Amino acid sequence: MSASDATFRPSLSPADSATEHRYIHVIGAKVFIDDRPAEDGWEHHFLGMHGDVACWGIDVPHGEDPAYGADMDLYSLFGRVPQDEWAIAGRAVQIIEWARTHRFCGRCGEPTQLAPNERAYICPACKLMQFPRLSPAIITLVTRGEGDDEEALLARGVNFRGPMFSCLAGFVEAGENLEQCVAREVHEEVGVVVDNVQYVASQPWPFPNSLMLGFRAKWVSGDIVCDTTEIAEAAWFRRDELPPIPPAISIARRLIDDWVFQR
């Protein structure tokens, strides 16, 4: 894609200024990016404009492989392309998966149709509209102490791929605000009470359809008691004794780095 510093603008149709088209072929959950349009009969969705480049997501039918084995999952793609292009690929995977799973109405079972003026599927019978799924989740770095003695609470999830420690995270429940979610998730996962919850930043997280909302919070009381269904172990760490932490792909790394370097 041209102009790595260009802004991506989600939209429903290409702008008149489009000078180039790029296609994110979604093969299962993997992607392959090139300038070849969809084959006849392959479903495709316009994603938005990246500068003057029109970006498309293509649902590659099962058994087809336009990449000839060169496709890769989003984890492997990270770092191989600029971050904004990685985010567009993540958007393609999410939009294609949404299209695959909303072909029928969840209320009456009728086949759905794409809405004409917004990104949604609509049921022609009962008019139920189904928008792309987005699951808000909080991720929080909890700290205690001050100055050189300050420590961060990091945990190793039971489903982590390796011996990595990260921030505490969880999905927002119906009827709660983000600050309540932070306090609840931290208490549920490691048994401590926090306050002074402060928003830091957000990150689309296409694994499979989350929006990660990053926070900092201060420990108030309680000893670590792990919910063993989710947390294998957790501990307090000083800046100079950190365990293995997430790579740069994750907002967790930003939260930890900001704390380490006092940003």
Q: Are 154 and 253 found together in one domain? A: yes
- For position 262, what pLDDT does the model report? 86
Give me the torsion for CA of 157, 158, 163, 169, rounded to 10°: -10
Give Cβ neighbours of residue 71 (< 8 Å, ≥ 6 apart): 25, 27, 30, 31, 32, 65
Contact 194, 212 (CB under 8 A): no
Q: Are 111 and 184 found together in one domain? A: no
Q: Report yes or no on 250 lying in a domain.
A: yes
- For position 17, what pLDDT does the model report? 86
Q: Are 93 and 143 found together in one domain? A: no
Q: Are 125 and 150 found together in one domain? A: no
Q: Report yes or no on 127 lying in a domain.
A: yes
pTM reported for the whole predicted model = 0.88
- Domain of 216 in residue numbering reads as 135-260
Mean pLDDT (whole number) for 220-224: 98
Tell me whether strands 193-205 and 210-221 are parallel, antiparallel or unpaired: antiparallel
1 has a pLDDT exceeding 80? no
Q: For residues 80 and 32, what is the distance between their CA atoms, to the nearest angstrom?
A: 12
Q: Are 117 and 157 found together in one domain? A: no
Tell me whether strands 129-130 and 113-114 are parallel, antiparallel or unpaired: unpaired
Q: Are 163 and 89 found together in one domain? A: no
Q: Are 39 and 119 found together in one domain? A: no
Q: Which tokens belong to 237?
A: 């760490």
Percentage of residues in the chain with pLDDT exceeding 90? 89
4 has a pLDDT exceeding 50? no
pLDDT digits (tens, 9 = 90+) for 122-173: 999 999 999 999 999 999 999 999 999 999 999 999 998 788 999 999 999 9
Overall number of domains in the chain: 3
Nearest alpha-carbon partner for 58 in 45, 70, 41 = 45
pLDDT digits (tens, 9 = 90+) for 87-121: 999 999 999 999 999 999 999 999 999 999 999 99
Q: CATH number, domain at 230? A: 3.90.79.10
Mean pLDDT (whole number) for 190-199: 98
